[in-house]
Structure 1
Amino acid sequence: MSGLFGYLDGVAALGPGFDNWAMLAAQLTGEQPWQDAPTRLTAPPGLPPAERRRVGKPVRLALALGFEAVAMAGADAAELATVFTASGGDGDNLHALCTTLAEPARLVSPTRFTNSVHNAPAGYWGIAAGATAPSNVLSAYDASFSMGLIEALGQVQGEARRVLLIAYDSPYPGPLAALRPLPEPCGVALLLSPERGPASRARLAVVGGETAAEGSTGIAALDALARSAPSLRALPLLAALARGEGGRYGLEMPLGGLLVVELQPCV
C-alpha cells in the first residue's frame, strides 16, 4: 500500500448539523459552532420521479455526496470510476424485510428487496449520473473508510484515472439499533485524481513504515461524532484540509492497527 497517492479535487460532507462541505469546513475551523441537528436529505437529482419516491436514506445520502464532490471539482460524473463504502446497508429496509419474514404470509416487496442490497446506491448512481465507468462497493465494518480509501487510491494509481470515493452510514431502527448504534445518516465524498490540476486542494498519500495517532479535530463534539460512525473517521483528516494544514493521520484498519495517511495542502 505504501506509495499510493492521489490529488484531492473535490470534497463533500453531509450529516447531523451540516448540510455540505462548506458548512462542515466552517465548523472544523471554528468559524461556526457545530450544533447537533437531524440530517437533511433531499430528493436525489437525476433519478426519474418513480425512482426518487422509492429510494431510501442511503441512496439519497450517497447521491447527494457524490454530486457535491463532482460539482466542486468541475468534473463529469458520467466519466468517473466510483468506490462506495459503508459499514452497513439500508437499515430501514432491512428492518422492514425482517418484520415481513416474521409474518405468516412473508410477502416481500420486490422494491424493498432491490433497495436492500449493498450495491443499491452504486446502481442508482449509474442511473442518475449516466455513469458507465467501473464501480466497486465494499464494507469493512468500522474500517470501511480506510479500506475504501485504499481501494480508491489503488485505482487512481493503477489505472491513472479519477476516482470518486463515497463513504456513508445510515442508522438502523430498533431493535437492531441497540446492537449497532449509529448517528443520523452521514458521510463524506472525495474526488481523487492521479495528477495535480487546477481544482486540486491537497495531496493524499498512504505512508508505509510510519506511525501516527488517530488524530483529532480539536473540537470535542466533532471528535465524538467521528467516533460514532465509520464514514466520519475522516473528520480529523478533513479538519486539517479545512485549516490548510499538513500532517500524518491514522485511520482505523480491520483487525487493529492504523492506516497512516499523509495530507499535504496544494498551495
Structure 2
Amino acid sequence: MKATLFVDGVGYAAPGLRTAVALQEHFDGAPFEVEETWTAMPACLARRQALRLSDTTRLAIMAAEAVGPLLPRDCSWIFASSTGEGGTLNEILLALRADPIMIQPLRFQNAVHNAAQGNWSIAAGAKGGMTSVAAYDATAGAGLLKATMQALMDDCPVGLVVFDAPLPPPLHEKRPLELSMAAAFALSPQRGENSLAALDLDVVADETATDPSLSGAHRSLTDSGNPVRFLLPLLRQIFWPKGETVTLDLPGKLALTVTPLSVGDA
C-alpha cells in the first residue's frame, strides 16, 4: 500500500509541553521540565464538566481540540490508545473487591476504550464516524494506518489522536507508562493552502522501527514507555521536512514507513 497524505495541523499535550509549538521549540533546543502536578484541562470544556472525565480522556480531548478547527465537522476521527481508560478500569476493579460493592453507573460509561472519542464527539459536535484503535506498542503505527485508509476511502480529511496516560498501581506494574502524552493530526488526501507537510506512506515487511531517541527529544519523553513517543521523530520531520523516513511498528511482521516532505516537493 502506497499513499500520500497532507498534514494540515498537529496538536500535542504532555506535562511541561502543552502544545505543538512548545514541542517544536523543545526540538529546537528549548529546555523543559516535567510538571509533576499537571492536569490536562481542555479549553473546550467547562472546568466542572472536564473534572467529571478521567485524566486520559481530558488528555485526548486537549490534543484533539488543537486540530479540530482545521477539520470539517462531518469528517471521521481515529482515536488510538494502547491502554484506554486504565484509571477508570482500576477504580471499578477496586470497587468489586469492596463490601458492599458500590460503583457509580458513570464509571461503566467511562471505562470503555472509546470513552475519549465519545466525549470528544459531544464536546466538538462532531458528526462523522469514530474509530477506536489499540495495538500495544504498535498503536501509533496502527492508528496512522487506519487514518490513512479512512482518508483515502472517504476522500475526505480525517482527525487522528494518539494518546496514553500512566496507569495507577497495581496496573502500572504490568504496563509502566511514566508520562502522559497525546499527539493529534489533521490529515487530508488533498493539499490545502496551509498544509504543513506531505506524508508518503507505505506498508512494508520486517522493518525496524525508528528509535524515538533519534528525535533529539528530552529523555523524559523518549524513555517514558508511552507508545506516543514513537511519533516524536515524525513530528520533528513534519516541523522541518527533510525527506527522512520514519518507520512505525504495525501488528505482526509489518511496519509503516512515513516520509515527510515539504509541500512543494510532494
Asked if TM exceeds 0.5, the reply is: yes
Q: CA deviation at 1:213?
A: 5.3
Residue matched to 1:263: 260
CA distance in structure 2 between the partners assigned to 1:52 and 1:34 by the alignment: 26
Once the two structures are superposed, residues 88-112 of structure 1 have per-residue CA deviations (whole angstroms, 9 ceiling, x without a partner) of 1222212211110011222221111
Residue matched to 1:54: 52
The answer to whether the aligner puts 1:160 opposite 2:155 as a matched pair is yes
The letter for the 2-side match of 1:252 is D
Secondary structure of 1:183's partner? coil
The alignment yields a C-alpha RMSD, in angstroms, of: 2.2
CA distance in structure 2 between the partners assigned to 1:6 and 1:39 by the alignment: 37
CA distance in structure 1 between the partners assigned to 2:121 and 2:257 by the alignment: 32
Secondary structure of 2:215's partner? coil
Cα distance change, pair 53–218 in 1 and its aligned pair in 2 (3 A): closer
The letter for the 2-side match of 1:221 is R
Q: Which of residues 155, 167, 170 is equivalent to 1:172?
A: 167
Q: CA deviation at 1:258?
A: 2.9
Secondary structure of 2:68's partner? helix
Bigger drift between 253-262 and 95-104 goes to 253-262
User: How many residues are matched?
Assistant: 261
Q: CA deviation at 1:48?
A: 6.3
The answer to whether the aligner puts 1:124 opposite 2:123 as a matched pair is no
Once the two structures are superposed, residues 100-154 of structure 1 have per-residue CA deviations (whole angstroms, 9 ceiling, x without a partner) of 0011222221111111111111111111011111110111111111000000000
Residue matched to 1:233: 230
CA distance in structure 1 between the partners assigned to 2:147 and 2:105 by the alignment: 32
CA distance in structure 1 between the partners assigned to 2:40 and 2:81 by the alignment: 20
Cα distance change, pair 206–96 in 1 and its aligned pair in 2 (3 A): same
CA distance in structure 1 between the partners assigned to 2:193 and 2:59 by the alignment: 27
Residue matched to 1:113: 108
Residue matched to 2:5: 6
Cα distance change, pair 46–34 in 1 and its aligned pair in 2 (3 A): closer
Secondary structure of 2:177's partner? coil
**Long gaps (5+) in structure 2:** none
CA distance in structure 2 between the partners assigned to 1:150 and 1:167 by the alignment: 12
Residue matched to 1:20: 19
Q: CA deviation at 1:184?
A: 2.4
CA distance in structure 1 between the partners assigned to 2:100 and 2:79 by the alignment: 34
Residue matched to 1:138: 133
The letter for the 2-side match of 1:70 is G
Once the two structures are superposed, residues 154-173 of structure 1 have per-residue CA deviations (whole angstroms, 9 ceiling, x without a partner) of 01111101100000001111
CA distance in structure 2 between the partners assigned to 1:129 and 1:219 by the alignment: 31
Cα distance change, pair 46–134 in 1 and its aligned pair in 2 (3 A): same
Cα distance change, pair 37–49 in 1 and its aligned pair in 2 (3 A): closer
Secondary structure of 1:192's partner? strand
Bigger drift between 6-15 and 87-96 goes to 87-96
CA distance in structure 2 between the partners assigned to 1:144 and 1:209 by the alignment: 16
Give matches, 1:205-220, under 5 Å: 205-209=200-204, 214-215=210-211, 216-219=214-217
The answer to whether the aligner puts 1:147 opposite 2:142 as a matched pair is yes
CA contact (8 A) 2:10 2:183 kept: yes
The answer to whether the aligner puts 1:193 opposite 2:188 as a matched pair is yes
CA distance in structure 2 between the partners assigned to 1:88 and 1:140 by the alignment: 9
CA distance in structure 1 between the partners assigned to 2:111 and 2:46 by the alignment: 19
